[in-house]
Amino acid sequence: MNFFSFFSGKKEENMDITEPNIAQLAPWVSKTTDCMELRLVQPQLDQPDASEPITFTSFEPAFTYPIFGEQEVVFGYKGLSIQISYTSGSLRIYPRNDYKEKYVAASSSSASTIPESADDVSSMILDFLPKQDCFSNYDEFVRTVQEDAEAFRPMGEKVHEYTRESSENDNEEEHFEIYRTSLANEKFREYHRRMQFFVLLFIEGSSYIEEEDEKWEVYTVYKRQKAGASTFYHFVGYCTTYPFFYWPECTRLRISQFLILPPYQKAGHGSELYQVIYSTCMARNDVKELTVEDPSEDFADMRDRNDLRYLNTHKALDDLVAPVSRKTMKELRQKYKLTDRQMQRCVEMYLLSRVNRLQKEEYKVFRLQVKQRLYLYNLDVLKDLEFEDRKEKLEQTFENVIEDYHRLLEMI
């Protein structure tokens, strides 16, 4: 019997679904996105004499369906609390589940719709974690937090470092570093097994990559912190990239997973990471194009802003006016290694930033260029519409795109 089919009201064969059963079982259902908490744990660096030797930053997952199923619920607990703690640099793991009451089936019940036991939450989580790096004893985990804090160092080649104003003290700067390595590094593969759990919780539709494929390159971001004579590193986020064949003898580099953990979001770390990857592509003669696998809206925004900034900084679009020829667009795309659609969007934003809407003929030429791209991009949908409907739909799409361009240009 599938309890969750029962709970959602989907009737299965030989199931006696009744309102009393729903009322009886509902209190034992927990929404996992609400009761799960992730923690990045580190020693008390600012207060070494504090009674509690560790401190932590906590945040909640965006998704849990890869672990707990589409409905993101578990059955069998009241007051369920799921905590997954990580050492902030080495990412050693301490998973813990607490609850106020656990479901026990009534021995006299014979109804086929009544579950026999509570879900095994610990096993469901451990199926996605490297068990050899998980602690079951809290005191051992605390000792590891303290030991690993000083001993851990990022793996791979340091390719970039930058600073940000401290979120706690305006007169101080926080230091960050970006490293590049590959899954050909066996020790790093072990580390990657610890950090990959985050992508399930924060990247919609994500799954674990094939770690035996040594072509994967991984960029990791860390906060570097000094305390006395010691240096500590705290995990911020990471990105995976994969090289594909690009005819005739070149490479198309694809960004696959891209994640900055919630405590570090909205501070420009994603832009720093993307800029490093893009600059690496520009410096490599074998790479002819940078692509992105199923980008989220937030990532697409960040990518648009950074690509346009780069092109403006290098005066790539200076003096362009609509209509921009396909030949010019191809030359720009090849030189700056962007996909055709991405280069066209950047060119359109540049043109919009300079077009005079009051000059009707000038704006008309710009509008026709954008609409031509939108028509070709949405051809499968538009071709089946009547002429007037197609015209109206295209105009609506155009206005939405222009509104979005204005929003992005205000951020640049």
Show which residues are catalytic: 293
Task: Give the HSE-up count for residue 191: Cα atoms under 13 Å, Cβ half-sphere.
Answer: 23
Say if residue 75 carries a ligand binding annotation.
Answer: no
Enumerate residues 6+ apart whose C-beta is below 8 A from 317: 311, 332, 346, 347, 350
- Does 23 belong to an annotated binding site? no
Sign of CA dihedral 185, 188, 193, 198: negative
- Please check if 265 is assigned to a binding site: yes
Q: Has 393 been labeled as part of a binding site?
A: no
Has 136 been labeled as part of a binding site?
A: no
Residue 54 vs residues 89, 227, 239: alpha-carbon distances, Å: 14, 15, 28
Question: How far is residue 324's CA from residue 348's CA, in Å, rounded to a whole number?
Answer: 9
The answer to the question of whether 260 is labelled as a binding residue is yes
| CB-facing half-sphere around the CA of 384: CA atoms within 13 A | 3
**CB atoms < 10 A from the CB of 41, how many?**
20
Residue 258 counted as an annotated binding residue = yes
d(Cα 177, Cα 220) in Å, to the nearest integer?
A: 8
First-to-final CA distance of the chain: 55
Q: Does residue 270 have a known ligand-binding role?
A: yes
79: left (phi over 0), alpha (psi -120 to 50) or beta: left
- The pair of three-digit structure tokens given for residue 165, joined into one six-digit string: 């104003």
- Compute the Cα dihedral for 236, 205, 216, 300 and give only its sign: negative
Q: Is 267 annotated as a binding residue?
A: yes
Cα separation, 335 vs 26, whole angstroms: 59
Q: Is 7 annotated as a binding residue?
A: no
Specify the length of the chain in residues: 412
User: Could you tell me which residues are annotated as the binding site for acetyl-CoA?
Assistant: 258-260, 265-271, 305
Binding-site residues, please? Answer: 258-260, 265-271, 305
